[in-house]
Amino acid sequence: MKLYLAGPDVFRTDALNWADEAHALCRRFGHQALIPLDGEARDAAGIYADNIAMIGAADVVLANLAPFRGAEPDSGTCFEVGFAIALGKPVLAYLPSGEALHERVARFFGPLGHDAHGMLDAQGLRVEAFGLPLNLMLAVPSQIVIGDLGAALARLPGSMSGC
């Protein structure tokens, strides 16, 4: 299968090494990785177009939805997940922890308050209390895997996980 790897990994200082390792790992599982760094474009509009084309060509999107610069996942990755879902593509979202979103918000920003309608963050805004590890708009349509890229690959149908 062709797998689009979405996530903030492209912002790592060792992103090219990460991409090489991710390509190799996907090959070991019998799949082809499509990674944003594979595109030719170097300007914003071109990168966007390349990524959209790769998502369109993918059979499945594997999305690293670990917290990025806060309690929530990378916004670009969230867009890619939504786009894939709109195209009817399956999405496997992987996270390092299964902690509920409200627990992560409290860990990042301090204790949650409560009113008659539920939990409130430090700014007085409501926090989802569904016990999901992500906002419901990501958690409900995605298959969630706790672990890393390897764990997500092992959950794909047809993966040669014994490799």
Question: 104 in helix, strand or coil?
Answer: helix
Per-residue pLDDT tens digits for 43-79: 999 999 999 999 999 999 999 999 999 999 999 999 9
pLDDT bucket at 127, cuts 50 / 70 / 90: very high
Contacts of 18 (CB under 8 A, 6+ apart): 9, 12
Q: What is the mean pLDDT of residues 144-162?
A: 85
Residue 162 pLDDT exceeds 50: no
pLDDT bucket at 157, cuts 50 / 70 / 90: confident
Look up residue 137 and give its two tokens: 């708009």
Query: What's the CA dihedral at 67, 150, 89, 64 to 10 degrees?
Result: 10
> Would you tell me which CATH number, out of the four given (3.30.70.260, 3.10.28.10, 3.40.50.450, 3.40.50.720), belongs to the domain 2-98+133-154?
3.40.50.450
| pLDDT score recorded for residue 44 | 97
pLDDT bucket at 159, cuts 50 / 70 / 90: low
Question: 146 in helix, strand or coil?
Answer: strand
Across the chain, what does the average pLDDT equal?
Answer: 95
Report the half-sphere exposure of 77 (CA within 13 A, side-chain side). 29
The proportion of the chain whose per-residue pLDDT surpasses 90, expressed as a percent, equals: 94
Beta strands in 56-155 (DSSP E): 60-64, 91-95, 113-115, 118-120, 143-146
Start-end of CATH 3.40.50.450 domains in the chain:
2-98+133-154
